[in-house]
Chain A
Amino acid sequence: MSYAFTEEQLLIKQNALEFAKEYLDPIAMELDHSAKFPAEIVKKMVAQDLLGLFLPGEYGGAEAGFVAFIEVIEALSGSSASVAAILLNHAIAAYAIEHWGTKEQKDNYLPALVKGEKLGALAIYENGPMLGVGPDTLVAEKKPEGYVLNGVKAFVRNAGVAGVYVVLATTDPTSNGKTLTAFLVDAKASGLKVGAAKESMGLRGCPMADLTFENVIVPESAVLGAVDGGLALATDTLAVFSLGEAAETVGIGQAAVEHAAAYSKTRVQFGKPISTLQAIQTLLAEVATDAHVARLALYDAAGLFEEGKPFQTEAAMVKAFLARFGSKMLLDTVQIEGGFGYSEFMPLPRLFRDIAGTTLLEAPAEYPDKTIAAALLA
């Protein structure tokens, strides 16, 4: 557990902030409005080695470590959480392959994911059934030629732009979520269809759609991890994902408090800047404190994960904290900026909608409180 960043980590954060300022700030508002996938930005992220940032060098990755990845996600999120979400979904799909995959699967996919020839995506959720509870509707039937997938996965981020999906399917729909298996499915697989883009409240530049599987045949070598071991894979992957989400939330919150603080110094009311009013100072202090405390907890959990130590309880605590204070950071900063802050030509409404996405969308298989309590009561 160490909060002292290395010189490299400090430089990585500095460069990520510069990247965000130069390339994301100018397009963030338009990206939010148009919800058009920012392909040119992804190319720029490839050039910065961001797509394989924490992956091993043997696959072309930068081997910068997971803490550096969290720094980058936080830095990008302050400018465009949509772009950060594209990177996060891609990178965690790559993590699942790197952590759970066979040598052949890693050789097949990771170099392409690092170079941006393929983006990664996670197809985990369905309409209705909760992860691990079932009944799951995407069914993988064992056949001599491999597995045949039929059904629908819902709310898939990076859908339509990804080259490979990490897909959870059940080998037995009557098992109530206990026989989930993860598969690597190529985007070009016959019978795989990407549904219409789902308009969302926030993170609008990160594509989201359903995936429909109609007799999609995958070989046995496409099984990621163990057959019927998909729930453990998903639980692990989503815990790692939750750290990235927390980094998005902290980055958004920090951007909001900085914007509100700057605004409060220029907005004059009662003959003086509103920053001189105690009510405004109290709100600013509370939001800055929430962002700071969340960041400390986040980097603690990310550091544990990077060191290969148990991190799930700490990750769940970060998630639980941000579930309470994430959206509040935006409520308070909009309050500070008043009518202007509420207007769409200002950045806070976008940040407000984005932070709803980063705090409400994904959930680990178990709610964070349950994870924390289980650790306490074991």
Chain B
Amino acid sequence: MPNLLVCYKWTLDERDIKINPNDLSLDSSRAKGKISDFDRMAIEEATQIVEKQGGAVDALSYGTPTVKQSLKDVLSRGPNKAYYIGDASAEHADANVIAKVLAGAVRKLGKYDVILLGEGSSDSFNQQTGARLAALLDLPVVTFVQEMTIEGDTVKATRKLADCTEAVTVKTPAVVQVLSTINKPRIPSMKQVLGASKKPNQELKIADLGLKAEDLVPKSTRKSVKGFVMSRKNVIYKESNAADNVAKLVASLAKEGLR
């Protein structure tokens, strides 16, 4: 019976983020946290596998101390136990740091047959964490997965690529990154929500994960984030001659920088 681990990211709900129209800065002061969308699919997939085949699912997340707010949510979705690393270093962590912290936690937690993650996170969608985690753990990684089964010590997966699908088979242990099309996460029932507080969770201290100080230094730094606002100019060309209207439109577009 498979022993599964799902790594998830606790992100801000983008629907709650407002864009300041003056300087396009983001106001997330009223934004609630949520489990990153694709990671919800990873949690659902692992939960469905265990419901069909038996086994167990654990969940693991690295984030700022607010990651603790995710525990009841994630446990209501199926996992048996949640581990979390709530550390201020996550505030500026890039995919390199995140993967190193997760890899340190996985080494500490022990052996899992399959580690599942979403293909990318709802906020930055870098699509790097799974691949980096696999490299650090010296495991095979299967990305863009839209269908998967676990048979014995083998993962059979269908990858959705740009113009085709690819069927792959890998031996466990392995890392799998799932696409949003792999399933439709169920909405936890009231009893699942209320039962989440009875499931165990455990904090892992970053100092106990065997990391070096430089492991927590991001290699890439985000300089700024700005919102994108699509605004209409509502220009109407009223020449009687259609060709003149087209000429004016083309001139306007060229002036806007369209080449």
Task: Report A's interface with B, CB cutoff 8 A.
Answer: 7-8, 10-12, 15, 18-19, 22, 47-50, 53, 62-64, 68, 268, 271
Task: Report B's interface with A, CB cutoff 8 A.
Answer: 32, 69, 72-73, 76, 187-191, 193-194, 196-197, 232, 234
Q: Is the CB of B72 within 8 A of A49?
A: no
Known pairs A63-B194, A64-B194, A271-B234; A22 contacts B187 (CB<8 A): yes
Known: A11-B196, A15-B187, A268-B234. 11 other contacts (CB 8 A): A11-B76, A12-B190, A48-B189, A49-B190, A49-B191, A62-B189, A62-B190, A62-B194, A64-B190, A64-B193, A268-B232
Q: Is the CB of A53 within 8 A of B189?
A: no
Q: Is the CB of A7 within 8 A of B187?
A: no
Partner of B190, one of A68, A268, A271: A68
**What is the CA–CA distance of A63 and B196 in the complex, to the nearest angstrom?**
14
**What is the CA–CA distance of A156 and B163 in the complex, to the nearest angstrom?**
58
Q: Is the CB of A15 within 8 A of B197?
A: no
9 closest pairs, A vs B, by CB? A49-B190, A62-B190, A49-B189, A48-B189, A11-B193, A49-B191, A7-B72, A64-B190, A15-B187
What does DSSP make chain B's interface, helix, strand, loop or mixed? helix
**What is the CA–CA distance of A49 and B188 in the complex, to the nearest angstrom?**
10
Partner of A48, one of B69, B73, B190, B196: B190
**What is the CA–CA distance of A47 and B189 in the complex, to the nearest angstrom?**
7
**What is the CA–CA distance of A47 and B188 in the complex, to the nearest angstrom?**
10
* A65: nearest chain-B partner, CB-CB: B194
Which residues of A lie under 8 Å from residue B73 when comparing CB positions? 11
Known pairs A8-B72, A268-B234, A271-B234; A48 contacts B187 (CB<8 A): yes
Which residues of B lie under 8 Å from residue A268 when comparing CB positions? 232, 234
What does DSSP make chain A's interface, helix, strand, loop or mixed? helix
Interface CB pairs A-B, < 8 A, 13: A7-B72, A8-B194, A8-B197, A10-B32, A11-B193, A19-B187, A22-B187, A47-B189, A49-B191, A53-B190, A62-B189, A62-B194, A64-B193
Known pairs A63-B194, A64-B194, A268-B234; A18 contacts B76 (CB<8 A): no
Known pairs A15-B187, A18-B187, A48-B187; A8 contacts B193 (CB<8 A): yes
**What is the CA–CA distance of A18 and B194 in the complex, to the nearest angstrom?**
17
Q: Is the CB of B188 within 8 A of A15?
A: yes
Q: Is the CB of A50 within 8 A of B187?
A: no
Which residues of B lie under 8 Å from residue A11 when comparing CB positions? 72-73, 76, 188, 193, 196
**What is the CA–CA distance of A53 and B193 in the complex, to the nearest angstrom?**
12
**What is the CA–CA distance of A85 and B193 in the complex, to the nearest angstrom?**
24
**What is the CA–CA distance of A7 and B197 in the complex, to the nearest angstrom?**
10
Which residues of A lie under 8 Å from residue B69 when comparing CB positions? 7
Partner of A15, one of B193, B232, B234: B193
Which residues of A lie under 8 Å from residue B189 when comparing CB positions? 47-49, 62
**What is the CA–CA distance of A271 and B196 in the complex, to the nearest angstrom?**
52
* A44: nearest chain-B partner, CB-CB: B187
**What is the CA–CA distance of A259 and B13 in the complex, to the nearest angstrom?**
20
* A273: nearest chain-B partner, CB-CB: B232
**What is the CA–CA distance of A53 and B191 in the complex, to the nearest angstrom?**
9
**What is the CA–CA distance of A19 and B188 in the complex, to the nearest angstrom?**
10
* A46: nearest chain-B partner, CB-CB: B189
**What is the CA–CA distance of A47 and B232 in the complex, to the nearest angstrom?**
45
**What is the CA–CA distance of A10 and B188 in the complex, to the nearest angstrom?**
13
Which residues of B lie under 8 Å from residue A47 when comparing CB positions? 189
**What is the CA–CA distance of A15 and B232 in the complex, to the nearest angstrom?**
36
Which residues of B lie under 8 Å from residue A8 when comparing CB positions? 72, 193-194, 196-197
**What is the CA–CA distance of A7 and B76 in the complex, to the nearest angstrom?**
12
Which residues of B lie under 8 Å from residue A68 when comparing CB positions? 190
**What is the CA–CA distance of A318 and B193 in the complex, to the nearest angstrom?**
29
Min distance, Cβ B31 to any Cβ of chain A, angstroms: 13
* B186: nearest chain-A partner, CB-CB: A47
Which residues of A lie under 8 Å from residue B191 when comparing CB positions? 49, 62
* A7: nearest chain-B partner, CB-CB: B72
Most buried by A among B187, B190, B191: B190
**What is the CA–CA distance of A48 and B189 in the complex, to the nearest angstrom?**
4
Most buried by A among B189, B191, B193, B197: B193
Which residues of B lie under 8 Å from residue A271 when comparing CB positions? 234
Which residues of A lie under 8 Å from residue B32 when comparing CB positions? 10
Min distance, Cβ A175 to any Cβ of chain B, angstroms: 42
Q: Is the CB of B234 within 8 A of A50?
A: no
Min distance, Cβ B46 to any Cβ of chain A, angstroms: 19
Which residues of B lie under 8 Å from residue A50 when comparing CB positions? 190
Which residues of B lie under 8 Å from residue A12 when comparing CB positions? 190, 193
* B69: nearest chain-A partner, CB-CB: A7
* A63: nearest chain-B partner, CB-CB: B194
Min distance, Cβ B51 to any Cβ of chain A, angstroms: 15
**What is the CA–CA distance of A312 and B225 in the complex, to the nearest angstrom?**
50
* A69: nearest chain-B partner, CB-CB: B190
